[in-house]
């Protein structure tokens, strides 16, 4: 069974530039999550999708972050414009359903904003 795929693995951009991350969840997983992990911290939920609908985006900085999962499968997370404090690892995870507690994580995208 293929795991959660994320790309790119690494990205370096200048502040005020834009960047996008892509995630392909495990086949058949209806629930998709984007987490932000800042160095020295645990992952923090940014947004959660159930199929193509948003379940929770309460911690997503909506003035600069956006995410979509148009066909209920893969998803993109965008930052525009980036700030220095956005430097982090962005983790995508998926689970079978909304109340399936075990989430499977991708390797993450390490973003450095300079």
Partner 1 sequence: DQQVKQNSPSLSVQEGRISILNCDYTNSMFDYFLWYKKYPAEGPTFLISISSIKDKNEDGRFTVFLNKSAKHLSLHIVPSQPGDSAVYFCAALNQAGTALIFGKGTTLSVSS
Contact positions toward partner 1, by CB under 8 A?
Answer: 4, 31, 33, 40-45, 48, 55-56, 91, 93, 98-99, 101-108
* Max Cα distance, the chain (Å): 38
CB of 1 to partner 1, least distance (A): 14
Nearest-approach distance from CB 103 to partner 1, in angstroms: 7
Q: Do the Cβ atoms of 113 and 82 come closer than 8 Å?
A: yes
Shortest gap between Cβ of 12 and partner 1 (angstroms)? Answer: 16
Tell me whether residue 33 or residue 65 sits nearer to partner 1 (CB atom): 33
Nearest to 13 by CA among 48, 75, 64, 54: 64
In angstroms, what is the minimal distance from the CB of 100 to partner 1? 10
Nearer to partner 1, 98 or 114 (CB): 98
Q: Between 24 and 31, whose beta carbon lies closer to partner 1?
A: 31
């Amino acid at each position: 069974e293929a795991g959660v795929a994320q790309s790119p693995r690494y990205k370096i951009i200048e502040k005020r530039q834009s960047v996008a991350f892509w995630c392909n969840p495990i086949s058949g997983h209806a629930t998709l999550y984007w987490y932000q992990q800042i160095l020295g911290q645990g992952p923090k939920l940014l947004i959660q999708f159930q199929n193509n609908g948003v379940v929770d985006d309460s911690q997503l900085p909506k003035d600069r972050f956006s995410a979509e999962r148009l066909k209920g499968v893969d998803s993109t997370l965008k930052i525009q414009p980036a700030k220095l404090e956005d430097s982090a690892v962005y983790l995508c995870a998926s689970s079978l359903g909304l109340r399936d507690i075990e989430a499977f994580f991708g390797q993450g995208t390490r973003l450095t904003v300079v």
